[in-house]
Structure 1
Amino acid sequence: MPPNAERREILSDAAVQVLARHSSRGLTHRALDVEAGVPRGTASNFFPTRDAIVDAILVRIGERLAPDAEVHATLAARQPGRELFADYMKDIVQRLTSDRDAALALFELRLEATRRPHVEAAISAWLREGLAADVAFNARMGLPCGQHEISLFHYAINGFIFDQITVAVDPSADRNQVIDDFVERLIPRTN
Structure 2
Amino acid sequence: MTRNPQRRAALCDAALAVLARDGARGLTFRAVDTQAHVPTGTASNYFASRDDLLTQAGRHVYVRMAPDPREVSEHMSGPRTRAMVTELLRWTLRRITDQPDLYLALLELRLEATRRPELRAALTRTIRADLDANVHGHLEAGLPGDRTTAVLLYLAMSGLVIDHLTLPGVLDGEDADQLIAALVTRLVPEEDTAAASER
**TM-score, normalised to structure 2's length?**
0.88
In 2, the alpha carbon distance for the partners of 1:185 and 1:160 equals 15
How many residues matched?
A: 189
Deviates more, 1:53-62 or 1:89-98: 53-62
Whichever residue aligns with residue 159 of structure 2, its letter is G
In 1, the alpha carbon distance for the partners of 2:116 and 2:144 equals 37
In 2, the alpha carbon distance for the partners of 1:125 and 1:178 equals 30
| Structure label with greater radius of gyration | 2
Q: How does 1:94-133 map to 2 (within 5 A)?
A: 94-133=94-133
- The question of whether the paired residues in 1 share the 8 Å contact of 2:139 and 2:147 is answered with no
Which residue of 2 is the match for residue 152 of structure 1? 152
CA shift, 1:111, in A, is 1.1
Whichever residue aligns with residue 118 of structure 1, its letter is E
CA shift, 1:64, in A, is 1.7
Structure 1: 5+ residue stretches without partners? none
Which residue of 2 is the match for residue 162 of structure 1? 162
Say whether 1:6 aligns with 2:6.
Answer: yes
Q: How does 1:1-191 map to 2 (within 5 A)?
A: 4-168=4-168, 169-190=170-191
CA shift, 1:174, in A, is 2.2
User: Cα RMSD over matched residues?
Assistant: 1.7
CA shift, 1:190, in A, is 4.9
Partner of 1:77, secondary structure, is coil
**TM-score, normalised to structure 1's length?**
0.91
Structure ranking higher on relative contact order (CA contacts 8 Å, 6+ apart): 2
Deviation string 1:15-51 (CA, Å, 9 cap, x unpaired) is: 0011111111111111111111111110011111223
